Amino acid sequence: MKQRVLSGMRPTGPLHLGHLHGVLKNWLYLQEKYECFFFVADWHALTTEYENPSKIREFTKELLLEWFSVGIDPEKAVVFVQSDVKQHAELYLLLGMITPVPWLERNPTYKEMKENLKEKDLNTYGFLGYPVLQAADILIYKAQLVPVGIDQLPHLELTREIARRFNFLYQRDLFPEPQALLSEVSKIPGIDGRKMSKSYGNAIFINDPPDEVRKKILSFVTDTQRPRKSDPGDPEWRCVAFQLMKLYLSEYEKNEVVESCKKAELGCRECKQRFAEKVIASFAPIWERREKLLQQKDWYEKVKEGAKRAREIAQQTIEEVYATILSSP
């Protein structure tokens, strides 16, 4: 029997290259190997975007369309929207009863996000409690594996602690402790060198028109110690653009860029122009699939079917949870 994997994404903006290389490429691999549940985490988006719910609705549909365009296959994975499976909220409430508040307050992301998103009022119960909702998302399907980056390990540990506490309190091994599936891809840099993110305004979106992609790639930070073409560069250690470029070039092409950059034979403008064409060519099949999907009026039916399948499993878990709590000594 295949192991079960759960992963989700918040619908807070259009997909960019950070999502594509950091998350979705991994999902494409996972959907072939495991029983995957992929969901749009619209309730999680509400924890920070509660003042803009219309945007969440808009991005939820858009995100699903983009997932399917890059190759996420609802025939291979269960794809759904979190708020279509109300059992997540029910388990969230029950797990909230047993989760000590200091566990949530010590969550490193809690303080960090409050610090980074100063323009939003995040002094809410929902924001403090979002790791409990995350735990419910995972445990409701008894997922054995959760793909995470190294920085998200504390979140998963919290889910494991909540699962352990539930099993201990009610004297039954109901919830398996999910394991991390560490993803190997490092952070994708944006055009200014910081992590690619919509909120930093440094992202290349999958649906950017070709001219926009060219413009953004041309403004990518390169080797700052190389103001002129005649200065030798150091792509591996000093060029931000090259870190992204590496994902698009063959070994031969990579070596060629490194060599000609180090010998000061290749100018940054020309190098980035070539790179932009590679990115645009890689987007072409995604755009094509998107167009086809938009012509199929019933493309969203697969998401409804996914929610139905998810609800069946989630309901079974909720019944087990009540039975466990009520029969506890």
Residue 155's Cβ-side half-sphere holds a number of Cα atoms within 13 Å equal to 22
Shortest distance (Å) from residue 244 CB to ligand SF4:
10
| Cβ(28)–Cβ(51) below 8 Å | no
Cβ proximity to ligand SF4, 65 vs 241, nearer residue: 241
> Which residue bears the tokens 């980035």?
272
DSSP class of residue 178 equals: P
User: Pattern of binders to ligand SF4 over 208-247, x per CB under 6 A?
Assistant: --------------xx--x------x-x---x-xx-----
Cβ proximity to ligand SF4, 248 vs 287, nearer residue: 248
Shortest distance (Å) from residue 250 CB to ligand SF4:
15
Shortest distance (Å) from residue 267 CB to ligand SF4:
6
CA distances from 69 to 66, 95, 115, 290 (A): 5, 36, 35, 5
User: Pattern of binders to ligand SF4 over 247-286, x per CB under 6 A?
Assistant: ----------x---x----x-x--xx--------------
> Nearest to residue 31, comparing CAs of 62, 66, 3?
3
Cβ proximity to ligand SF4, 125 vs 237, nearer residue: 237
Cβ proximity to ligand SF4, 186 vs 328, nearer residue: 186
Cβ proximity to ligand SF4, 178 vs 233, nearer residue: 233
Report the Cα 239 to chain-centroid distance in Å: 25
Total interface residues for ligand SF4 by CB under 6 A: 14
Cβ proximity to ligand SF4, 86 vs 263, nearer residue: 263
Report the Cα 209 to chain-centroid distance in Å: 23
User: Pattern of binders to ligand SF4 over 181-210, x per CB under 6 A?
Assistant: ------------------------------
Cβ proximity to ligand SF4, 30 vs 217, nearer residue: 217
Rounded CA-CA distance 239/132 in Å is 40
CA distances from 140 to 24, 133, 260 (A): 23, 10, 54
Shortest distance (Å) from residue 272 CB to ligand SF4:
5
| Cβ(216)–Cβ(244) below 8 Å | no
Sheet containing strand 35-40, edge to edge, reads 77-81, 35-40, 4-9, 145-148, 179-182
Cβ proximity to ligand SF4, 130 vs 242, nearer residue: 242
Shortest distance (Å) from residue 284 CB to ligand SF4:
23
Contact residues for 56 (Cβ-Cβ < 8 A; gap 6+): 11, 12, 42, 45, 46, 49
> Which residue bears the tokens 């890059």?
70
Shortest distance (Å) from residue 233 CB to ligand SF4:
4
> Nearest to residue 54, comparing CAs of 38, 41, 42?
42
Question: Which residues contact ligand SF4 (rule: CB under 6 A)?
Answer: 222-223, 226, 233, 235, 239, 241-242, 257, 261, 266, 268, 271-272
